[in-house]
């Protein structure tokens, strides 16, 4: 006689169904047929689940924005303070004007992009569809701009950052990823 049968025989005195199920789940999870089996996609070669991937890429996106804002501020200052002996005054004024315009445009774009990345982080943490979709829309616009300007590096980076958003939204819509079953889907190869 195996141990499962022994356990059932021991419980027969109290109630006939005791011991058959060892996991209690909500009706939504049971109806979806996901009882303890992770079905979510893994990002970056199995490094983490899609929720964590959205949080990570949006946090990295914010870091990149802050880095470039500081970089352009320093670059504009350096251009203004360069020795003008190699350039005539008109050329130097044109270069300074272009740098100031470029810095203002870039800072304006970052003032839009940082809050949108923040929305993506919020949406992933709270399992909200629309904030993640808004963050995805920002990446789609970035992909379009990079494609039109033939910026291959930016195109690849924006596409790589958009990918977790697309999959996470698909998983939330299909019910694979939700607040109820996230403990089953939770995965990370490191301490993140």
Element (H, E) at 70: helix 50-81
Contact between 149 and 157 under an 8 Å Cβ cutoff? The reply is: no
Could you tell me the two tokens for 67? 């880095």
Length of the chain counted residue by residue: 192
* Residue 2 clears pLDDT 80, i.e. is over it: no
* Residue 53 clears pLDDT 80, i.e. is over it: yes
pLDDT tens track for 59-78:
999 999 899 888 887 887 77
Contact between 50 and 43 under an 8 Å Cβ cutoff? The reply is: yes
How many whole angstroms separate alpha carbon 58 and alpha carbon 55? 5
- Tell me which residue has tokens 């995965």: 187
Of the pLDDT bands very low, low, confident and very high (cuts 50, 70, 90), residue 120 is very high
* Residue 10 clears pLDDT 50, i.e. is over it: no
Task: Please tell me the least confidently modeled range out of 40-54, 65-79, 123-137, 147-161.
Answer: 40-54
Contact between 125 and 176 under an 8 Å Cβ cutoff? The reply is: no
- Tell me which residue has tokens 């890429």: 57
Element (H, E) at 96: helix 89-126
- Check residue 136 and give its pLDDT: 95
pLDDT tens track for 146-177:
999 999 998 999 999 999 999 999 988 988 78
Nearest CA to 136 out of 111, 112, 114, 117 is that of: 117
Query: Tell me, what DSSP letter sits at residue 91?
Result: H
Give residue 8's Cα distance to chain centre. 47
């Amino acid at each position: 006689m195996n141990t499962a049968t022994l356990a059932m025989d021991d419980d027969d005195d109290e109630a006939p169904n005791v011991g058959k199920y060892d996991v209690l789940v909500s009706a939504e999870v049971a109806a979806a047929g996901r009882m303890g089996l992770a079905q979510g996609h893994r990002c970056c070669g199995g490094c983490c689940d899609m929720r964590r991937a959205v949080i990570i890429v949006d946090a990295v996106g914010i870091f990149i924005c802050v880095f470039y804002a500081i970089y352009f501020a320093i670059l504009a200052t350096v251009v203004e303070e360069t020795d003008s002996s190699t350039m005539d005054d008109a050329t130097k004024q044109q270069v300074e004007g272009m740098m100031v315009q470029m810095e203002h445009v870039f800072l304006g774009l970052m003032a839009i992009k940082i809050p949108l990345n923040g929305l993506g982080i919020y949406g992933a943490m709270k399992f909200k569809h629309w904030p993640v979709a808004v963050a995805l829309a920002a990446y789609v616009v970035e992909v379009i701009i990079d494609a039109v300007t033939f910026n291959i590096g930016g195109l690849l980076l924006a596409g790589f950052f958009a990918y977790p958003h697309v999959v996470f939204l698909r998983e939330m819509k299909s019910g694979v990823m939700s607040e109820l079953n996230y403990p089953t889907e939770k995965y990370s190869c490191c301490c993140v």
